[in-house]
Chains A and B, each alone.
Chain A
Amino acid sequence: MSWAASPAAASGGAVRDDAGDSGRPGRPPAWRDGGRARSAVRTVQGIVSVGGAGIVWIALLGPVITLLVRMSPGDIWSALTGAGNLDPLLTSLESAGVTLLVLIVFCTPLSWMLARGKLPFTRVWEAGILCTLLLPPLVIGLLLVFMVGPYSWIGTVLSWMNQSATNTFLALVIAEVYESAPYYVLGAQSAFASVDTRLEEQAGLLGDRPFRVFRRVTLPLAAPGLAMSLAIAWARAIGAFGAVVIIAYHPYGIPMQIYVTLQETGLYTALPYALILLVIALPLPLAAYIWSARAGRRRRG
């Protein structure tokens, strides 16, 4: 190439000046081979801290462990095969799925604008989101009755379209959206805020229009954080109960089914639904966690 530097200026310089820096590419740092984990339990202090962490961890998992211990395969089988028993499962999956779509479409741009300070008086907007986070779900449900119930103007408009926002699938989705949205918005905001704006600026100078910058730089870099926020929102949506019990008693999702079964036939018959809730709610957060951990590893080379 015409501008190729003299050997002394380019390749020679490269060999000399870069050799001693932070290690060769492709070699994992020593702590990743498990050496640190082994050395953690060699000292008394190490044993105490690992033991303490283990106790906290088991205590946190206590309900899950209890659930697994209390259940027999026969209980699970009869819960899954009873007539109409899978309907709440389907209702929960559908409503939480629609909720996630609503969050992605409407709340992702809001989170991005909050993260980038694109809105005037950002703090006011954030305070609003925090308010919805702080409202107990039961209160959200009560307020939703006044907001979208049959005697509200929204309810009236809905009734003109032969729709209703109480005790319908729509009501269930509304309740789940209100219970999960603040978690998603705040999580996604922090995911976007973690992307260095200098990188976006650099992508722009390299010829990308803003939307392409978003697609090629912002979104991939925020993706692990977005996935985790989405997973949390999913867990909130599928387990939503407080607002649901007020505004969407019907159709039953899994949490409603657990509550009703508990009321009607007692503790033991309600437990299998709890297991189902765990089993269907868990894969998405787990996948998001594994995926974001892998993305982080890939970035570290």
Chain B
Amino acid sequence: MSNNNRFDVSLPIKYGLIAGVVALFVSVIGMVALFAERDLIAGVLTLGQVILFLAPAALSYQAASKAPTGKNGTALLYGAITGFVAALPLISLIYVYTLIDLRQFFPNVSPSLMEILTFGQGPGLGSLILLVVSTVLGLVSAGLYLLPDKYRRPIMSGLVGTLVVGMFSEILTERLRFFFGARFVAIVITSKALRPLTALFIFVVVTAIAYWWIQRGEQARERLTQRTTARDPRMRWIGIGLLIIFFLILPLLLGTYLSEVVNNVLIFALMGFGLNIVVGFAGLLDLGYVAFFAIGAYTMAILTSEGALGVGGLSFWLAVPICVLAGVIGGLILGVPVLRMRGDYLAIVTLGFGEIIRILALSDLLKPYIGGAQGVLQIPKPTIVGLDLIKPDQFYYVVLIGVLIAAFVSWRLSGARLGRQWMAMREDEDVAEAMGIKLVNSKLLAFAIGASFAALSGAIFASKLTSIFPHSFNLLISINVLCLIIVGGMGSLPGVIVGALFLVGLPELLREFAEYRLLMYGVLLIVMMLVRPEGIWPSAVRRRELHVYEQDDSARRPAAEPLPKAETREPGMEGPPHL
């Protein structure tokens, strides 16, 4: 809340301009037009419109929250002004488009974008509609802000829930048809989008559940935490048992396509567990992690391939341990030179290593052995007792075994002496060494174990694709894995799975996202670091670390360390000197 008690029109105008520029940006780079192809609610709402109006709505909400306390009228007016101003950049785009052909400069400013911006009504009437819609939206989000908390949160959950269900309605169609039959599907979903009534129904249900949860959830949660803190071993084993059964029958529920998606998610999660050890536990930022993935994949390819490059002709199961061993050796070899580096230098050097491996794989130098740009072909799929695991819902179990091993090893390590050594090292290398930790050993072990998971993942990946090419092992894989552990929460094991679901699963399901995947990763990395550096599902230790100064902030900080006036600080970001 602002201390400023009078009406200040420059604030909503500023917010509106920001929102308008963001909306203009997403339109011009083509996100709006592309995402508009995905209907959320048939005939009412497309994903493109959600993307377009997200910034105006969010900033109107923000503007309303900056209004003087208790003056609801001002808050509503702020919201409306923000929405109104936010529409202006878009309207200028519409008019500039009528004057000159913007397409020669910006290929994504297409007639279909104009169709969306003007609601298909032509520039004149369309601009007016856009203006009205944006203003009303600003008003509504300001109104949402003014609602008491106990209504606001359920309504927001309802909105988000409806949008999510709408986004996935295409996939839902296929699954629902499988379980409930085509008749049921035709009633709730039409041409890949929710029917308006279905959407309303989902909104009401989710809102009601969220309302109930907020009202009653407190008690339920308390009971649950009591259960778990009591450490009833039987409860824990039942929980783990249920989880295992769920994972075992998952492909039956999901069908072929979704199993394939889950396989990709799990392969990345497996790498995530490995990088989590290196970055999350030991605090060594490794940007060349893909090198070990490539080592595993190429080892598997060469050992098992039935093509010209194959050596040995081993079976998948015999080759896997060799791949893991190759990963460990790779981790040690690349680990030794960087032992004395810290922080950002380490990041750049490992990035260099990753690129060197990729370029070598592409080069003519190694072509006689690993195929150069043509890659290695004809890698067989694994077999169990004569049964070829060809279909994704069969192959799933291979990936699952890998992930379970990695998760189990990580989980046991995190509490073990080695894991605690890593965390001590992450906090402060000098102090850790003074406590008797051998930095060399623990660093090398972190690199080696992390690399072994990546190699395992690479081996499974090679066998899944049955042919591999150097282009699959670029820097983006490293960035992808890094993003997923940051988003999930560094050092947190459930965070790895959550991160993989978000960053690998979502883009797989929403194919049109693929083009803007890295754009959104970039935004996500920045936003996560600004807003929630500990990740979605943080480990308890890290959360404490990142908020270590928060509790005694008012008591100690300002007196002990007066800040220069111009410095802006983010609450909760004053952690230890390195991550």
A and B form one complex: no
B residues lining the A interface (CB < 8 Å) = none
